[in-house]
Structure 1
Amino acid sequence: MRAVVWKGPGKVSVDQVEDPRIESATDVLVRISTAGICGSDLHMYEGRTSAEPGVVLGHENMGVIEEVGSAVQQLRKGDRVVLPFNVCCGTCFNCSRGYTNACLVTNDEAAGAAYGYVGMGPYRGGQAELLRVPWGEANCIKLPGKPGDELEDDFLLLSDIFPTGYHAAEMANVQPGSTVAIFGAGPVGLLAAYSSMLRGAAEVYVVDAVPERLERAQKIGAVAVDFRKGPPAQQIRDLRLKNPLVRGAMRKGEEKMAGVMCGIDAVGYQAKDFEDPSKEQPTSVTEQLAEIVNPTGALGIIGVFLPEDPGGKDKAAKQGEYRLPWGALWEKGIRVGMGQTPVKSYSLALRDLIIAGRAKPSFIVSRRIPLSEAPDAYAKFDRREPGYTKVLIKPAMGQPSAAH
């Protein structure tokens, strides 16, 4: 089959690789109809992980079951499914408590596994024509409809970034009426903003510097904050205090709460230096959030931080060690949540919101491509070129058997 393979920093190719097969009675094989290119894939693409060449990429996957193992009873050939990026067993101590992101069985190296990602187990990714899904009944979310229908792109986003955006809002304790600041208007940041609105947030501020991304944030009702125009925390505070309705509702002393109650880092360890965006400063977002989140607020860190970063700016950063404003966070009593998303905790509810027409996360999708265009798409996505906010791969596109 054809698959997207990482060759080294800045290079992927579409290669012929061995077809997957049923290896265990609980496996299923899925013919991929859509796979997403994720911002997390860029960490490997850029050589910012310990990945070795040869990884088949892709942890955002959906398709139709082509074969099931002999022990699979609840799924059958022809079922349409989306696959949470967490590969889980479904029954270990963590899975049984809902923490499928920290499965104790699927990865010999650590708690938690995923498709096509370094350090996350031996599982090939789904930017390919076929994918083996271990523990199939635990790792397949059944979907209605047929491949290529009007909900295809919405359902694909259930594999990762829609639940991830929602998890960020959960960690940040977004409630009806909340004020929220989100740093990063990539796909996860935009869906964190969207999820915050689904949860009833009153004000959502989204910080970035890419015009296309800021425009998308505005279109869903968020307030776009361009960090090139000044420190974003100060911009948000000024916007709130200049609003006569916000200021007029404050009693004496409440100007101390002119920040926001909920903060989300949707950038991670490749954050920009706000004073010089040509440079990285991995703690810049955390520092701004420590400033803008009010006392007694909450912070959700969904942006990726890894134990090893070969491209880190110093020895500490290369080892995943950062100097953080811990004193400011402690003094304010800010609750901090972080880590990978337990996708299955949200998949069914978000799927049903899509089915009911209450959620349409595919507003972030900017381009759909065949497998053959993946190398070019990776390069353009990495450069943040217009039109590459969220790229979906359609393996059947352009193939002789594909419908036109």
Structure 2
Amino acid sequence: MASTNRAVVFHNPQDMRVDTLDFPKLQMPNGKKAPHGVILRIVATNICGSDLHIWRGSFPVPEGMVMGHEMTGEVVEVGPDVEFLSEGDIVSVPFNVACGRCRNCRARRTDVCETTNPAVSCGAYGFNLGDWTGGQAEYLFVPYADFQLLRFPDRDQAMAKMRDLALLSDILPTAFHGLMEAGAKPGSTVYIAGAGPVGRCGAAAARLLGASCIIVGDYHQDRLELMRQNGCETIDLSQDVPLTDQIEAILGEPMVDCAVDYVGSEAHGIGRESQDMNPAYAINQVLDATRAGGATGIIGVYGPDPLAKSKAEQEGTFPIDFGKAWIKSPRIAAGQAPIMHYNRELMQAILWDRMPYLSDMLNTKIISLDEAPAAYGTFDTGVSDKFIIDPHGLIPA
């Protein structure tokens, strides 16, 4: 067993470093022993678009915090109260830290666990939500392991499909959740705001659901080309044409059945406003694009942002065009996804080859732990890659 743990650590905005830390213990952030936990050797740990909020300084975290919340690992140490997991199991770690015991967890609302963060009903790894250590590291402690961890049924099969299965910890179930909240179903027309990795997962999930026309809007041409190659219609948001006009040019009507905002508070405008950042742009775009009686999912991260222009936006108050949207009787759902609500079914879809296009749409790129700090800067330029960190060199080429 190793005695140390190398990890990607936040020092300042745009300053991530690989530091050597102590090997994790079966211990909660408050120091209490955790016999219900396990230690994982990390097989895959991804850089998420949400991590970029931290990298840029939009989401403040303490110096020295270990980054990462999208982890897949091998069980190497088992607490004495763990009954259903064994050393050697390959598992997916939902990014929501959830106890499995509170009212919300028992209702499968693991996104708002009431006990894993004393400040608010929401715990997450590597995101300053409950002091949970992140997983962009060689090893990770996971509490409440019997409840939280999704075990893959066959080790060899899991390793062979790791590029896809690594997406189960966050972005694929998160993308799917956005579509569920927006009411997507077979035959639906769907607008996806943002062709970053989670938006591309949304397009893949819309295909799995049988959506008819999947329209993806973005500014980056390589991302849009990747979507076109995988059967989606695209909208170049840098063009000075209203979004609804561009939708009408595709569908023959200026609206879709459902729309999902996968961008969040760092959204930009359309056309001449495409260089301007405004936290409310993406929300207002999806509200405008959704038909009367339709629904929208707000999956992008929103919250107080110290980099925003106005004092209100810095405090997390945004100018939503709700008065204009109200007459359409909209249904709006927002927040983090309860990963455990979807991850098992999506795992089965991957294992049984119902999403063979997933890796192509995500454009996954495997990197080492030492390459991770530089990959943050590359990712922030808008490249079409989804970076998966392989700390131990375990993922097949």
More divergent stretch after superposition (351-360 vs 139-148) = 139-148
Which of 315, 319, 322 in structure 1 is aligned with 2:315?
319
Which of 379, 392, 395 in structure 1 is aligned with 2:391?
395
Structure 1 residue ranges without an equivalent (≥5): 242-254
Structure 2 distance, partners of 1:60, 1:36, is 5
Shift of 1:149: 3.0
Alignment length (residue pairs): 382
SS at match of 2:155: coil
SS at match of 1:191: helix
- State how 1:5-404 maps to structure 2 within 5 Å: 5-23=9-27, 24-118=34-128, 120-143=129-152, 144-146=154-156, 149-229=159-239, 230-241=241-252, 258-274=254-270, 275-306=272-303, 308-360=304-356, 361-363=358-360, 364-384=362-382, 386=383, 389-397=385-393
Amino acid of the structure 2 residue aligned with 1:394: D
Structure 1 distance, partners of 2:396, 2:292, is 56
Structure 1 distance, partners of 2:132, 2:171, is 20
Amino acid of the structure 1 residue aligned with 2:258: C
More divergent stretch after superposition (47-56 vs 155-164) = 47-56
Shift of 1:50: 2.2
Structure 2 residue ranges without an equivalent (≥5): 28-33
Moved over 6 A (4+): 401-404
- Is the contact made by 2:163 and 2:364 (CA closer than 8 Å) also made in structure 1? no
- Is the contact made by 1:80 and 1:147 (CA closer than 8 Å) also made in structure 2? no
Shift of 1:147: 8.8
- Is the contact made by 1:62 and 1:159 (CA closer than 8 Å) also made in structure 2? yes
Q: Deviations over 1:57-79 (max 9, x none)?
A: 01000110000100001001111
Amino acid of the structure 2 residue aligned with 1:155: L
Shift of 1:148: 7.9
Structure 2 distance, partners of 1:288, 1:2, is 42
1:247 matched residue in structure 2: none
1:245 matched residue in structure 2: none
- Is the contact made by 1:20 and 1:132 (CA closer than 8 Å) also made in structure 2? yes
Structure 2 distance, partners of 1:155, 1:221, is 22
Q: Note the aligned Cα RMSD (angstroms).
A: 1.6
2:30 matched residue in structure 1: none
SS at match of 1:300: strand
- Is the contact made by 1:33 and 1:147 (CA closer than 8 Å) also made in structure 2? no
Structure 2 distance, partners of 1:236, 1:29, is 48
2:31 matched residue in structure 1: none
1:249 matched residue in structure 2: none
Structure 2 distance, partners of 1:319, 1:233, is 30
The alignment-based identity, stated in percent, is: 37
- Is the contact made by 1:176 and 1:202 (CA closer than 8 Å) also made in structure 2? yes
Amino acid of the structure 2 residue aligned with 1:83: V
CA, structure 1 residues 147+28, in 2 after alignment: closer, same or farther (shift >3 Å)? farther
Structure 2 distance, partners of 1:53, 1:314, is 26
Structure 2 distance, partners of 1:329, 1:358, is 36
Shift of 1:396: 1.2
TM-score normalised to structure 1 length: 0.91
1:248 matched residue in structure 2: none
Structure 1 distance, partners of 2:119, 2:298, is 23
CA, structure 1 residues 372+298, in 2 after alignment: closer, same or farther (shift >3 Å)? same
- Is the contact made by 2:175 and 2:198 (CA closer than 8 Å) also made in structure 1? yes
Shift of 1:316: 0.6
Shift of 1:17: 0.9
SS at match of 1:131: strand
Amino acid of the structure 1 residue aligned with 2:243: P
Shift of 1:217: 1.3
- Is the contact made by 2:43 and 2:395 (CA closer than 8 Å) also made in structure 1? no
Shift of 1:390: 0.6
SS at match of 1:213: helix
